[in-house]
Structure 1
Amino acid sequence: MKTTLEYLKDRYSEEQSRFDHFENKCAKLLTFVSIIIAAITAIAGINKGIIFRPESPTDWIVLTAFLMGAFSIVCAWGHSLLALRIGECPVLPRSRVAAEYLSVVDPESQSTYLYNCYVGTLEQLAKVIDEKSKNLELAYQELAISAWGLAVAASLTVCMEITK
């Protein structure tokens, strides 16, 4: 049982590190996406918002691509927020009751109790991390969609300006 508890203790440390890793990625992505949203807002206002008054079919394509990119980046921001959401981070029991229980029971009962604590906490922690991972993956996918939409809009805009 001692080897099992050592294994579980190592896994718990690894999962806590994994949790921290995802939290850091979420925070960085949220900051990046927020900056992009601010830039998109500024770009939309250039030339008195002329992008929102399409006159030709190409203007409509630019507007559609821009709106698709803007919508996708807002979705990425939302999924970043969901991934970063401060929820319950499962931790091992840390109450006085648990400590006192461990101090009065025999070594076999201690091992069984600790085993159950580690297994239960690891299962809960894995679920929380997996949920963060799903939202983070969606945010990255939406960021890619946004990049394509905004790149199409920018490329067409540049081409239209060159050919004027």
Structure 2
Amino acid sequence: MKAVWILAVAVAVCSANVAGAQDSVRLITLDQLEDRLAGGGDTTFIVNLWATWCAPCVAEMPHFEELQQKYAAKPLRVLFVSLDAKQDLGAVIKFVERKALKAEVLLLNEKNEQYFIPKISEEWSGAIPATLFVNTDKGIRIFKAQEFNFEQLEQNYLSIVQ
């Protein structure tokens, strides 16, 4: 009887962990993302466009996490927007858990790159990593198609808020 109870508890805990993991990454359309950025007020959004298979993207992620932590008291929001395919949601969730990402992670739910790439930026070829800096109150929307180190990322952020 005790073994059955322990098994039941283990199943419940595992089920809760899986449900929590699925909540760690949400699907979002480009229109939903744009609405969120537009409604941000004085918040500076740093939207990092990445994919699990992109080595430079993965290499720069700790810098975004560090920036979010360093300026936690400021109206700053780092959003990791994955360009992995919708059917790879499980792999993205596992990646987020393995890397213990603290920033919000979204999976872009768009199929047509010809539609969403120029909507994000006319300057964007579609290459990643790429980052969008947005502050609606200041009318700022800056796109950078590059890999960042912490100093470059911080300098770009501070140029917006100072």
Structure ranking higher in strand proportion: 2
Q: Bigger relative contact order, structure 1 or 2, given CA contacts below 8 A and separation 6+?
A: 1
Q: Which has the larger radius of gyration?
A: 1
TM-score, with structure 1 as normaliser: 0.31
Structure ranking higher in helix proportion: 1
